[in-house]
Structure 1
Amino acid sequence: MAPFLLLFVALATASPMKRQTGGLDVNADGLVSYDEVVHAMSLHEALTALDRDGDGFLYLPQIIELWGVGDKFYELNTDGDDHLTFREFENGMSLQDFYNQFDFNGDGTLDVPEAYQMHFIYDTINNPLFDNPIDANGDGKLSKLEVLSLMTYDEVLTALDSDDDMSLTHDELLVLFGSETADFLNHQDRNDDGVMSFDEADEHHMDLEKVFERLDLDDSDYLEDGEGAGFYSVWTTILNSASTN
């Protein structure tokens, strides 16, 4: 059996991870409160979960993948180098501050699109098997082969569609596209209604290889230093769906 298929079978047959109606969302109301987060993890645990290559650093692309902008990287990067240490992060930000960065509408709780990354962090902390679910060779970066062998573009769209309305808002696309979200949505949104419908996606003949190339900001033919962080969350959602079905 091929290595990718073996990986899929191992993950898909494992106990389904809890998302939205369990796990981090303790009261199953579809929202994630700060109280639920603070009882589930520390800031240090969250940073460790995000540090997929284990080098003890977080990089600008990872911050952009988390919050759509890189402002916090420059604010926290006190020594001006190309990475953030855990110490820099923890000296400049509390767990409450970290949580607030995901609350894009400022209502005090995280709805489904806002909580996407928090669920991934929780799953990584509590399910070590999912630490590098699609990095088959463990080199800390994603190749086209690793991504395209495990998922299709249609599966990615469905995974991002948190409210199952067959269209994707800016916040839903942000999970995967990070800093590229606005540009991607502007290109795909043919009728200028602010969302990308699945029909519009079909009309543009977009595919997963083109998505990979868009996310490969340094044209290295690999997604590294946070470029492919969204794919980890998407793959986890695809697995959850496969397990529950």
Structure 2
Amino acid sequence: MAKWALITGASGGIGQCISERLAQNGYHLLLHYHTNQTAASHLAKRLADSYGIQTEIIDSDLTDSKGAAAISSSIGGRGLEAIVLNSGQSYHGLVTDMSDQDVQEMVQLHISSPFLLTRNLLPDMIKRKTGVIVAITSIWGETGASCEVLYSMTKGAQNLFVKALAKELAPSGIRVNAVSPGAVKTNMMGAFSTEDITMLADEIPMGRLAKPEEVADAVEFLLSEKASYITGQILSVNGGWHC
């Protein structure tokens, strides 16, 4: 039977690595994106050609209240074996500098839309009594960060969403976990200078930023049967930073 997985934010650096890892494991993929259609299309074609899987891209703005419904309606009758909630964006600045719209969009993207999307897709998983959900959260959801207060708040909410949902779904045979990365070497670090990144790496006990592939390794493990008795956990991938 075909295994289907949905990955939100699939066109980003971490999303692309996760998508490739799932393709290597035989999943057919529903690849969500919003602004980067070119990257999503190239990813879908490359994975289909390389691994002989089916791929489909889904465009939806998860900062909009209707974004989750747009993805849900695109799933059709395909039963999902895996959901990877990976969409996200950070905001760096003082709390007092944030507009109401900034706040609304960040809360919608990180809390409301993942909740609504999961709620919409759960009935089929519960009916089949199978499935795994993995959320990509953040080290700041565990420790908090100055000048990223709202981002920290929303990522902390994701961690508690994972813990609570895991308890609710365990009797249905569905596992729910999170991967909580520290600093990861992706395009999101493009706003930092080389000097800033060097100083950041010096703060990390392992002396470097994570590779996106290392986040994908953790997701692959949590989706696999090797993690069959693991649910409600936040797996930190941070090189010992802020432990």
Higher strand proportion: 2
Task: Give the TM-score category using the shorter length.
Answer: under 0.3
What TM-score comes out, normalization by structure 2 length?
Answer: 0.28
What TM-score comes out, normalization by structure 1 length?
Answer: 0.27
Higher relative contact order (CA 8 A, sep 6+): 1
